[in-house]
Amino acid sequence: MELSGEARPQIVLLGTKASALAVIGVWRSVVSDQRLERRMAEMLHVGILGAGLAAEGHAAAYSQLRDVEVTALWNRTHSRAEALAGKLGHPTLKVYDNWQELITQAHCDVISIATAPMLRSEPLLMALGHGCHVLVEKPMSFGVREAEGMVAAAQRAESVTACCFNWRYAPAYQTASRAIRAGEIGAIRDVRTEWYFRARRHFLASQPWALRMDTSNGSLGEGLCHDFDKARFLTGEDFSEIASRITPITIKQDDDFLIDGGRSMHLAELTGGVLAQFCMSITAGEGIWRMIIVGDEGSLTIPDAGTTVVRQRQDDNEPGTLAIAEADQLPHSSELLQHTWNRLIKDFIGAVRDGDLAHSDHPNLPVLTDGLRTEEVIAAARQSSIDRRWVTVGSKAPSFSQQSNGH
């Protein structure tokens, strides 16, 4: 690499091995700084697979970043990709007829995969093979074995990868994470989440893979995986065992619209002895999404989707609301869901520019192993519901495929 005269360090031969090594260290530092500066100044070109809600969220997040441009789109339904391209309005953006051509011909630096779960593994493997950095939506695959292959490929690649567990970035969960790590409620003992998702047929029908357990993981993959990930993120523990019951649910006012796996409850033990409860149900009634984290010195409650944290400790006469750091606050111009995508994708692009393969400087950014761990939890939960017993979570958990008909 050629350095300008102004940036070139002045080398003085001091005649000792230690001095020579010091000079080499200074030289390497300058070269490294210049390479980083060059990466930061380069325009990054992004290709997005998918054109649904998540793909639109990704596109909007990338569009807010300096020197980042979405230049390629693909969706199974071509007209939807064309519609998204029209919203973005980038003059150089091209809609591709198939995803393979986008990866191999669009010369993208970054690929965002926001397709249905059944079509996430193959594009990720191909994108890594072409040297692209990859962000994949959650759940990152359909099945443990598929996820294991994705993790192995990412570990061999010289690319930044991440799984889009975006709710980690909601203001309340960032605040709770810092409070827990600061010891404000002591050692974590219990976690409980409740998610009653108020949805109607037209929304669910737009992502049909979320309605069936035999072609996807249903509401576990599309929704509850976020709560599984948040439990791991906040406690720093992994799942050991799980006991689950997963059943269909029918929305009566939508002509008896059946959702396979639309109602489930789970009791889990995490490493470190943490006990956790999770429940999720599609509902025609009140929408609720809350989480309670109990420590041996107090508790944190997130009573909404992720904007408020209530703390109570033994000596508190009444609970108090924790302040949200300015950097985490929800801007007045942004919706909460989009805000979480914005924060995660900003971190992802930061890791890309820094060459931070392990996310060492971006610790909130989920790695693909986080996606694999969640796949293992889902697989164990499904097996538990079938067998009516506790199931160990881990690499030996069953890997449900698209041919599986177990609920």
**pTM (2 decimals)?**
0.86
pLDDT score recorded for residue 16: 45
Residue 1 has pLDDT above 80, yes or no: no
In three-state secondary structure terms, 257 is: strand
Nearest Cα neighbor of 213 from 224, 203, 202 is: 224
Please write the tens of the pLDDT for every residue from 215-240. 678 888 888 999 999 999 999 999 99
pLDDT digits (tens, 9 = 90+) for 338-397: 999 999 999 999 999 999 999 999 999 999 999 999 999 999 999 999 999 999 998 676
The per-residue pLDDT for 398 is 67
Q: How confident is the model at residue 252 (pLDDT cuts 50, 70, 90)?
A: confident
404: nearest Cα among 137, 265, 205, 217 = 217
Q: Distance of CA 144 to CAs 135, 139, 396, Å? A: 18, 11, 9
Question: What six digits make up the tokens of 64?
Answer: 């807010």
pLDDT tens, residue by residue, 170-198: 999 999 999 999 999 999 999 999 999 88
What mean pLDDT value characterizes the chain? 87
Token pair 């703390």 in the structure block, residue: 311
Residue 26 has pLDDT above 60, yes or no: no
For the range 299-303, what are the long-range contacts, defined as Cβ-Cβ under 8 Å and sequence gap of 24 or more? 299/185, 300/176, 300/179, 300/180, 300/184, 300/185, 302/172, 302/173, 302/176
- Which of 302, 139, 307 is CA-nearest to residue 219? 139
Take residue 360 and report the two structure tokens written for it. 């060492």
SS3 content of the chain, % helix, strand, coil (to 5): 40, 25, 35
Write the pLDDT tens digit of every residue in 129-181.
999 999 999 999 988 999 999 999 999 999 999 999 999 999 999 999 999 99
The Cα 381–Cα 403 span in angstroms is: 18
Residue 336's alpha-carbon distances to 60, 106, 138, 235, in angstroms, are 13, 32, 18, 23
